[in-house]
């Protein structure tokens, strides 16, 4: 499946090829505040259609994850990170996908707080 998503104001738009049949919520310090439902894909399956210069980057702790958000509307629709094996990944906030039925998505809670 190819999904389209982006931020609220429309400055950031992306396309991602993924099979999203479940989502992850996480209880770490940032996810618990943001309330994201996440799905993951290799960065090679992700295409930023517009908005590279509208992105602001927030990093903390080990600084391995780029918690990106739109400078204009503040919505964080995706993030970038690297797996321990070096694979570049994107995290997709499924709440930001177009016409995506996240209410019926099975969601697993990840214990990020203890990791
Ligand atoms: Zn925006």
pLDDT in tens, 13-27: 999 999 999 999 989
User: What sign does the dihedral 69-74-37-51 (CA atoms) show?
Assistant: negative
What is the pLDDT, as a whole number, of residue 35? 92
**Can you give the length of the chain in residues?**
115
Which residue, 74, 56, 75, is CA-closest to 66? 56
Find the 12 Cα to ligand 1 centroid distance in Å.
6
Distance 50 CA to ligand 1 centre (A): 11
Share the mean pLDDT of the chain: 94
C-alpha–C-alpha distance, residues 96 and 89, integer Å: 17
Going from the Cα of 72 to the center of ligand 1, the distance in angstroms, rounded, reads 5
CA of 61 to the centre of ligand 1 (A): 25
Q: What ranges in the chain are assigned the alpha helix state H?
A: 31-34
Edge-first strand order for the sheet with 46-50 is 2-6, 13-17, 46-50
Kindly give the distance from the C-alpha atom of residue 114 to the centroid of ligand 1, in angstroms, as a whole number.
32
Q: Which domains does the chain have, with CATH numbers?
A: 2-114 (2.170.150.70)
Ligand 1 centroid from CA 82, angstroms: 24
**Per-residue pLDDT at 63:** 82
Provide the pLDDT for residue 10.
97
pLDDT at residue 79 is higher than 90: yes
Across 80-101, average pLDDT: 94
CA of 54 to the centre of ligand 1 (A): 8
Going from the Cα of 29 to the center of ligand 1, the distance in angstroms, rounded, reads 23
Q: Annotate 4-25 with b (16+ C-beta within 10 A) or e (fewer).
A: ebbbeeebbbbebebebeebbb
The CA-CA-CA angle for residues 79, 85, 90, to 5°, reads 15
State the distance from the centre of ligand 1 to the C-alpha of 30, rounded, in angstroms. 19
Q: What is the mean pLDDT of the segment spanning 90-97?
A: 97
Q: What is the pLDDT of residue 64?
A: 84
């Amino acid at each position: 499946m190819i999904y389209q998503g982006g931020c609220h104001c429309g400055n950031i738009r992306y396309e991602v090829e993924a099979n999203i049949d479940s989502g992850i919520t996480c209880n770490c310090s940032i996810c618990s505040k943001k309330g994201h439902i996440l799905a993951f894909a290799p960065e090679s399956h992700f295409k930023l259609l517009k908005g590279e210069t509208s992105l602001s980057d927030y990093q903390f702790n080990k600084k391995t994850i780029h918690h990106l958000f739109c400078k204009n509307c503040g919505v964080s629709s995706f993030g970038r990170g690297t797996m321990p094996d070096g694979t570049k990944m994107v995290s997709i906030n499924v709440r930001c996908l177009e016409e995506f039925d996240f209410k019926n998505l099975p969601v697993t809670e990840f214990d990020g707080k203890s990791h």
